[in-house]
């Protein structure tokens, strides 16, 4: 069955995600605001879930249409062929969001969509009551500017959950964003990467996994694996293929520093769980002692931002230290994410490239220095 899939991603990462999908051989890939669409069968769905580093989840796009009234919403949803994915006893909870539309009540839209799916399935299965005791098909909707997108989630837990985060420290960066920073820094199999404020080590772990081509979803399961319509072989085959791609021969190495000993312990455990602990060395060290290594080096970091005025001042004094320590030298590359619009002035140099994105709800920029 040929399906259209939708992969929501962090704003600013659509291009990276689309390139990744094309590289994976997925078809008809289109990047849009906050999401990337592609087409394929259940194998493509398994591949995207297991191998995508930047997508937040993979959803089946059931349909998109204009709806200004509840009748239009009901009829449009009812006609979407739910029996292809939802069996007689399966559960199908509905959740979603309404933005800038005539229909702005989320609970009402939820009820109408649920009724419409029940009505569609009732006709098909000649039943009027569904027990919903089976595996879950999480139905999601987005009503934006009177256009509704109706989707079924295939991932379950968000794809940023790789399965290696045993514990987290105070402000861990999302794995998908950390992976994107590694990609934007051009991390390759033979690179040496440093994060001088590594916290729980997410950036270095994602960089190592990327360098060694360890698929981010190899150590976890996905909601759609329990669906009767998805052939077991689809995921088994993609896992096998992803396992064959791992490059144990990569010479990648990394080092992570932080002042917080507890965070460093968490980082070590996480690296162990991710299977990259032999590639990353962690050590307690303050940023003011940072010295560029000999030869090629890629520095990627997510420094503290500070939320109150006093903390912002403290964070900015760290940016100044970084500017002094991150010397402009041949073979050195620096990538820093921060929401501070004054970063370049305090750091002391204009970035060679910048990219706007979000870290959680915070509008940030990724500053890249490589010339």
- The residue ranges that bind ligand SAM (CB under 6 A) are 169, 171-173, 197-200, 202-203, 258-260, 263, 286-287, 302-304, 318
Q: From CA 211, how far away is CA 222, in angstroms rounded?
A: 24
CB of 186 to ligand SAM, least distance (A): 19
Tell the smallest beta-carbon distance from residue 323 to ligand SAM (Å): 14
Residue 30, phi then psi, degrees to nearest 5: -130, 125
How far, in Å, CA of 177 to CA of 59, rounded?
20
Can you tell me the distance from the alpha carbon of 259 to that of 314, in angstroms, rounded to the nearest whole number?
A: 14
DSSP secondary structure string, 38-55?
A: EEE-HHHHHHHHHH-SSB
Whichever of 9 and 337 has its CB closer to ligand SAM, that residue is 337
| Burial track 339-348 (b if 16+ CB lie within 10 A, e otherwise) | bbeebbebbe
Q: What is the rounded distance in angstroms from the CA atom of residue 366 to the CA atom of residue 193?
A: 17
Dist CA 226 CA 323 (whole Å)? 51
Q: Which is nearer to ligand SAM, 78 or 160 (CB)?
A: 160
Q: Which is nearer to ligand SAM, 58 or 173 (CB)?
A: 173
Q: How far is the CB of 20 from ligand SAM (least distance, A)?
A: 21
Judged by CB, which is closer to ligand SAM: 3, or 274?
274
CB of 283 to ligand SAM, least distance (A): 11
Residue with tokens 């960089």: 207
Q: Measured from the CB atom, is 142 or 181 closer to ligand SAM?
A: 181
Q: Least distance (Å) from ligand SAM to the CB of residue 366?
A: 13
State which residue has the least CB distance to ligand SAM: 199
């Amino acid at each position: 069955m040929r399906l259209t899939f939708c992969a929501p991603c962090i704003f600013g990462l659509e291009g990276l995600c689309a390139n990744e999908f094309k590289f994976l051989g997925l078809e008809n890939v289109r990047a849009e605001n906050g999401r990337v669409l592609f087409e394929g069968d259940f194998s493509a769905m398994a591949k995207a879930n297991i191998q995508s580093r930047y997508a937040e989840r993979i959803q089946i796009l059931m349909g998109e249409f204009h709806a200004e009234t509840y009748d239009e919403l009901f009829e449009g949803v009812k006609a979407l062929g739910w029996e292809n994915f939802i069996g007689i006893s399966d559960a199908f909870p509905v959740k979603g969001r309404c933005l800038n539309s005539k229909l702005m009540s989320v609970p009402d839209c939820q009820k109408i969509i649920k009724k419409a799916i029940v009505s569609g399935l009732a006709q098909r299965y000649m039943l009027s009551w569904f027990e919903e005791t089976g595996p879950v098909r999480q139905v999601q909707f987005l009503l934006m500017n009177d256009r509704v997108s109706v989707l079924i989630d295939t991932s379950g837990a968000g794809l940023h959950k790789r399965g290696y985060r045993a514990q987290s420290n105070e402000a861990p960066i999302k794995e998908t964003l950390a992976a994107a920073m590694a990609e934007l820094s051009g991390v390759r199999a033979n690179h040496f990467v440093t994060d001088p404020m590594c916290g729980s080590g997410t950036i270095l772990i994602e960089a190592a996994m990327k360098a060694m081509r360890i698929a981010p979803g190899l150590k976890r399961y996905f909601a759609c694996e329990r669906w009767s319509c998805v052939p077991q072989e689809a995921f088994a085959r993609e896992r096998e293929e992803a396992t064959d791609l791992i490059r144990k021969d990569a010479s990648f190495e990394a080092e992570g520093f932080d002042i917080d000993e507890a965070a460093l312990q968490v980082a070590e455990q996480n690296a162990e769980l991710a299977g990259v602990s032999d590639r990353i060395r962690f050590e307690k060290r303050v940023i003011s002692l940072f010295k560029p290594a000999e030869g090629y080096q890629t520095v990627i970091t997510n420094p503290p931002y500070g939320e109150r005025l006093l903390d912002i001042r403290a964070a900015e004094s760290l940016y100044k230290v970084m500017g002094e320590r991150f010397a402009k030298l041949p073979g050195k590359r620096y990538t820093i994410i921060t929401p501070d619009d004054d970063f370049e002035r305090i750091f002391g140099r204009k970035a060679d490239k910048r990219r706007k994105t979000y870290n959680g709800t915070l509008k940030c920029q990724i500053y890249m220095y490589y010339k």
